[in-house]
Amino acid sequence: MARRILLASNTVETFLDLRSALEFEGHEVTDAVTADQTIQQASVKRHDLLIVDSFIDGIAAHTLCRAVRLKSNLGIIVLCGERATSALDALNSGADDFLPAQFVMAELLARVRALLRRVAWSRTEGHQIVLPDRAIDLKAYEVKGPGNHVSHLTPKEFLVLRYLVAHADKPRTLQHLAQTIWQRDGSGEVEYVRNVIRQLRRKLEPDPDNPRYILTDRSAGYRFQLPPDSQNLEAHQ
């Protein structure tokens, strides 16, 4: 299905090749060549996916991701530079996936298809879980509470949280989560799973350092502990 994709790149050759390949797949492509344009375009909520270079106007992708995430839950793929930490920085700041700057076009298009499927699916499926101090609205990509506070979930956070909730009180290993969410063998994604868990705890837990919902089973991975007095309001399963 055709989607709206925002492409943010300072590299003319990369931009032209990507635009051509994405349009050939039937997508509508909008370009951004500055950091301000990228943030502004990503925040108008008309795009399904942002593909961004490791640097725009000298500003690192993880900084842009952090700014975009304050205003949008669109999917984000970062084309990482040579630094080993750049991918981790991007994922910590809200990116959903990454590829090296010298990527293979076929792999990038496959990642785009996979993320767009997950974004589309997650926007139409979901349910709400009412906890004692807040509510998880997976259909709206939000954690609501306490009070009027609202935390938005990224597509990757949504997938991890929804999977843990669907298997509440049952531990899931890091490798299993990596294989399920990233749809790879999981061998190189363990640290990224830990990062997503940390991000979810910051949004969900009253005290992220002493979690009461997303618990760590040292020998088995992570599990979502559903409190006895919580309510599961099913919208669509």
User: Is a pLDDT exceeding 70 seen at residue 157?
Assistant: yes
Domain ranges of the chain: 4-122, 125-236
Q: pLDDT tens, 176-222?
A: 888 777 665 555 567 788 888 999 999 999 999 999 999 998 777 88
Residue in 45, 47, 14, 15 with CA at minimum distance from that of residue 28: 47
Domain 125-236 -> CATH class: mainly alpha
pLDDT number for residue 237: 33
User: Is a pLDDT exceeding 60 seen at residue 102?
Assistant: yes
Give the list of residues 6+ apart from residue 169 with CB closer than 8 angstroms, or none. 223, 224, 225, 226
- Region 57-74: mean pLDDT is 86
Domain 4-122 has CATH 3.40.640.10: no
In the chain, pLDDT over 70 holds for what percent of residues? 85
Measured distance CA(95)–CA(75) in Å, rounded: 7
Record the pTM: 0.58
Quick one: pLDDT band at residue 10, thresholds 50, 70, 90? confident
pLDDT number for residue 234: 44
Please tell me which residue, 89 or 37, carries the higher pLDDT value.
37
User: Is a pLDDT exceeding 50 seen at residue 63?
Assistant: yes
Same fold, 4-122 and 125-236: no
Average pLDDT, the chain: 81
